[in-house]
Each structure stands twice: as structure tokens, then as C-alpha cells.
Structure 1
Amino acid sequence: MKNIFYLLMGCLLFFACKDSEADIYEGDTMLNFNKGVSGNGFVLNSQTYSDYKISYGALKAVQSNHSVKLVFDASKSTAVQGTDFDILNNASDDLSAGETGGEFTIRIYKAPAVQSGKTAVFKLQSASLMNAGFDQTYTLNMSLTCPVTSFVGNFTNTESFWNNPGTPVEIVENPAVPNQLLIKDYLDVGKDLVLNYNPTTYTVTFADQNTGYFSSANGGFIWLRPSASKVSSFNPCTRQMTLNVYYYIPNVGAYGDQVEKFVGF
């Protein structure tokens, strides 16, 4: 199952990516979406609405108070503000001195929601803070939720560090543990990747896990854990899952965050 070619390339780049003390940022305080640039928001049949949080950050702590707005880009969206969703608190958030970020709340309404989903695209705006040159657009996919039973089945690993892109995989529910999925034989034959999910938001978490693959070039077993900065999630209606995985060798170094994307067929 392992993508040996990419792993060998990873070995060549490995020590350039080795963990080191982060440099202290001394530039301007600029805004960006700091926990990923897309997400899935769901509303249940039993709900009138559900709330979804979008996080943003400043590259360093602000030294005074600032107001930040979340701006809806209707031209790039299929959802309609005021019908499909609203941005609470007048789409504004106050950054107080010393803070490095905040969040906005999107209220998704059940009545117009559909299982196929609608998208809403957002940008950040502030009269007193500049925007960074990256992570400036956030896309929220909002839909009426589908049961997990409609999600599980056969998938293509369309984007991958661990596999050859295009590798077929099977994702199943774990009958012994509620709200747990297994990507069968993903790490190796007989070695599943175990995922836990929130049944309301479909965000995904997973424990630190030894992949079982020994990198002779770097002298250690490759482990994985969730990205510290990007959220993993899946959409049970569209049957798409995106995992943000941090690959590393304990006490040696890291391959860094990598994307594993799965699309059902």
C-alpha cells in the first residue's frame, strides 16, 4: 500500500524538514484563515439550524484593538446569504490587544438545505489590519446531512503521500466502537488506519500511530498524527474525505503535514 517512490523522495528532503525552533515573526500583523481554507457544515433533519465556526488568525499578536469582518463573496457561491445561512454578530469580530485570532459563526438553516450541498465563499476584511498574501479565501460546503451508512464503501485515494494517487481503498464502520471508521489495509496489509469522527460536524481525529514502515535512510519507524493546524473532515453526502496528516520519525525529524484525500465511487 505504501507509496515507496514518494517515501524515498521524502527521505531526500527529510532533514531539510527536520523539526527546529521556529523563527520569531517580526513583520506586520496580517490576517489569514489559519486553520484551513475549506470545511463542511451540516444541518440535521431534527434541527432548525446548526452553527459552524470559521477560525482566522493574525501572524502575530495585535498591539491594540481591531475589528475584523467576514465578507461573503456571492459571485463565487451557490448558497444565498439570508436564505441558506447568516453570519452572526453582524459578521464582525473584535481582536483585542494581545490576541492572535478569533472566529466567526455561520448559522446554516435546515429548510433550504439539500443533501447535494451548497457552497459559500468568504474573505477577511479589516480597516486597520492588512491581509496576508496566502490563505485568504474560505469555502464552506453546507448540506443536509446524510447517514454514515451512505458514506462508507469503496473510495479512490485521489491525493496521497502514503499511497500512489489513484489507489482504491475501502472505508468501513467499526462495529465494535461507535463513531469510528477504518480505512482497511491502508498503512499495510492487515494494518488499518483508525479514525474517530464527530457525528454532528463530521470532523475527524486519530491517535498517534506507528505506520510500521521503517525508513532505513533515516533510521526509524515512520509515525503519523493529525495536523496541528488543519482540520480533517468528511462529507457523508458527497462521499469525500480529506485528512491532514503529519508524518514524522520520533526524535529524528518530520515529513510535515500531508494531504490524504478520498473520493467515493
Structure 2
Amino acid sequence: MKKFLNIFTVAASLLTLVYCSEAEQPFTEGDSYLHFAKEQSGNAYVELNSGNATFKVPYGVTKAVEGDHNVELVLDQSKSTAVLGTDFTVSSATLPSGSVFGDINLNIKESAAAAGKKAVFKVKSATLPSANFKNEYTVNFNLRCPISSFVGNFTNTESWWNNPGGNFQIVQGTVANQLLVKDFWDVGFDLKLNYNPDTYVITVPDQSTGYFVAQYNGYIYAKPTTAGQVSSFNPCTRQVTLYIQYYIPNVGSYGNQVEKFVGF
């Protein structure tokens, strides 16, 4: 018996609408102010048995620079677990005249990625003023393992749809970059997942669970959360975290829920 059946009358009354808006970025006129070009953090991946990998940290300025400018990353060791020179190295970088964006390369060792270390940076230049926004960037080190080492048996450790603790098989789908959680909705009804092979971000395609609610004359569907959380998996640790919105079309939503799996 599915867990949601036990809480159906409560959940059905909680219809959730979540609206997200992006805050406007500060705009600065005058000098070329230096800042990171991405929000807050990025994930660097090192392939299993490769030894090391290069990760590009993007930066930018508020307007095109005049003349060439040296740009560097400054490690905040108090916030970092990775050690410069031991776990990674940083290349020098120059922002050419007329440019707005550039990259600084990190070379990350496989041992640091396997340990899940991170490095927190400030960006600076002796000849460019620093912006008061996007001035800290975290690089999370991750080990990348083949999908063949990920698929197999999993425990559904946290669940809204089922009672936690159930075991399921996760297999590769019939199309590229697809995973199936076998019999998750019910026997013969698989949970379909699409994933990005570079970032391991999962997209939950809009799909019917196959469960019909007579009270509302409709099937329960699943789709990506509207709360901004990102579903993902780690093929090395064999962990999956899904953020799903359950709903009945033209009726309402059960809200944003979490499904977690750990391989065994």
C-alpha cells in the first residue's frame, strides 16, 4: 500500500503554488569592476583513474577593459578543505584589452576529488577594482564514475510516495541519458529520470504515476519541483536525491516532495 494513501485526505487539501523571481543584478558604471561570472559555486569532476582534471573558473568585469590586466584567484583557506599545491594548482590569467570575460584554470587531483574537498576563492587584480557582488566562488571537487558502476539495487531512504525503506532497482533506460526506477509507482510502472552526463543533474519528466483518484476523477502526475531545488545523483557514492511535485492536472498539487535513494 502506498504511503500517500495514508495521508491522502490531508495532502489533497494542501495545494501549493510557488513563484520564483530572480533578483536584479547590481549595475555599475565607470570603472571595470572585477567579479566572478557565475553564481556562488561550481562542481568540478575528475574521471576515475584519470589522475587529474582541469576546471575553469569564470570571471568578468562590468565593462570591457582597456589594456591587459593580470587576474588571480585568492584561496580562503579558512573556508576550504582543499590545499593549494597539494590538492590543486592554479594557472595565471590575463584579461586582454577589450575583453569582458575570462577564465582561470584549476588543475585538480583525483585524490582530492575522491575525498570530496572544496576550495573557496576571491578574485582580485592589482589593476582592477573589485565589485561588491559575486566576489566569492566555491569549487566543489567530485569524482566521476561510469554509469555502469552506479546502476543496481537501491534503498528508498526518504520518500513521500512510498513508506521509506523499500528496495528498488535502478537501471539504464532505453534512450540515452535516462534512468528507470523499476516498479516505483507500482508493479509495472517505472519512475523515469533524465540526466545530464556532465553534471549528473536529473530532470524528472512530467509523467503519470498510473494511480487514479476517483474523488477528483484524475491521475496523479509527477514533475520537477517548483521550489528551485535541483535533483541529482552521484554515480560514485550511489546516492540519488529527487525533488518532485506531485499533482492532479486541473485539480491541484500535493506540494514539493523529496525522494532519496542509496545504493547497496
Query: How many residues get paired?
Result: 226
Whether 1:249 and 2:253 are equivalent positions in the alignment is no
Change (3 A) 1:41 1:162: farther
Q: Is the 8 A contact 1:49 1:107 kept in 2?
A: no
Map 1:41-120 to 2 at 5 A: 41-44=44-47, 49-51=53-55, 74-75=77-78, 77-80=80-83, 83-84=87-88, 109-113=107-111, 116-120=114-118
- 2:163 aligns with 164
> CA-to-partner distance for each residue in 1:143-175, whole Å, 9 max, x for gaps?
23111111111111112221112222111122x
The residue matched to 1:9 in structure 2 has which SS?
A: helix
Say which is worse superposed, 154-163 or 78-87, in terms of deviation: 78-87
Instruction: Please list every run of 5 or more consecutive structure 1 residues that lacks an aligned counterpart in the other structure.
Output: 31-35, 55-64, 91-104, 130-136
The residue matched to 1:161 in structure 2 has which SS?
A: coil
Whether 1:3 and 2:3 are equivalent positions in the alignment is yes
Q: Is the 8 A contact 1:246 1:256 kept in 2?
A: yes
- 2:236 aligns with 237
Instruction: Please list every run of 5 or more consecutive structure 2 residues that lacks an aligned counterpart in the other structure.
Output: 27-38, 63-72, 95-102, 123-129
Change (3 A) 1:238 1:108: farther
CA distance in 1, matches of 2:46, 2:260: 23
Change (3 A) 1:114 1:121: closer
Q: CA RMSD in A?
A: 4.5
Q: Name the amino acid aligned to 1:116.
A: A
Q: Is the 8 A contact 1:40 1:233 kept in 2?
A: no
CA distance in 1, matches of 2:237, 2:172: 17
Change (3 A) 1:159 1:87: farther
Say which is worse superposed, 195-204 or 70-79, in terms of deviation: 70-79
- TM-score when normalising by structure 1: 0.63
The residue matched to 2:12 in structure 1 has which SS?
A: helix
- 1:208 aligns with 206
Change (3 A) 1:213 1:48: same
- TM-score when normalising by structure 2: 0.63
Task: Return the offset for 1:81.
Answer: 5.2
Say which one has the larger Rg. 2
Task: Return the offset for 1:89.
Answer: 8.6
> CA-to-partner distance for each residue in 1:221-244, whole Å, 9 max, x for gaps?
211112352221111111111111
Task: Return the offset for 1:262.
Answer: 0.9
Say which is worse superposed, 187-196 or 222-231, in terms of deviation: 222-231
